[in-house]
Amino acid sequence: MFPDRSQQQQAGAGLPVALFVITVLSLLVLGMSQMQQTSGESVSLQIQSQRAFFAAESGAQVAVRDVLEASDCAGLNSPLVFNDADGLQSCRSRMTCESVTANIGGSGGNTVFTITSTGQCGVGADQSTRVVEVRVR
């Protein structure tokens, strides 16, 4: 019976508030997705780095065996490519050897071999390289 006068005095602030809330939420979602992507890339590079370290370590172990069996750096077979290894596929290790002969007392001989193994995994921006050096006599 009496007309509702409160409806005539409303200005309609709902639309600007809704747009503001939607904008803020979309910026939050965008920021969170950027953080998640960066975190994922960081974990991927860390895994590649660990794989490269293990490739270098494996190459050093193989090189130590080769050099000690031959008693000379000429026995070194480099590079070592990991084709069948589950965790080291697409990785390789390049080894170098230097020998020094000196008058050293004790068992093991007088020749010290320094073996450097460089492990490399991945390509392009995801490539990681690690170096391991071993001395043995």
Task: Count up the domains in the chain and report the number.
Answer: 1
Q: Is residue 63 part of a domain?
A: yes
Q: From CA 36, how far away is CA 40, in angstroms rounded?
A: 6
Q: Is residue 5 part of a domain?
A: no
Asked whether residue 67 carries a pLDDT value surpassing 60, the answer given is yes
What share of the chain in percent tops pLDDT 90?
39
Q: Is residue 8 part of a domain?
A: no
Give the CA-trace dihedral at 61, 65, 66, 68, to 10 degrees: 130
Asked whether residue 90 carries a pLDDT value surpassing 80, the answer given is yes
Strand partners for 119: 93, 130
| pLDDT tens string 16-41 | 888 999 999 999 999 888 888 887 77
C-beta of residue 80 within 8 angstroms of C-beta of residue 54 = no
Q: Is residue 21 part of a domain?
A: yes
pLDDT band at 2 (very low <50, low <70, confident <90, very high): low
Q: Is residue 1 part of a domain?
A: no
pLDDT band at 64 (very low <50, low <70, confident <90, very high): very high
**pLDDT on residue 125:** 79
Q: From CA 47, how far away is CA 52, in angstroms rounded?
A: 9
Q: Is residue 60 part of a domain?
A: yes
Q: Is residue 9 part of a domain?
A: no
- Residue range(s) defining the domain that contains residue 75: 14-136
Show the tokens assigned to 38.
């960066």
Strand partners for 131: 118
Show the tokens assigned to 55.
């490739």
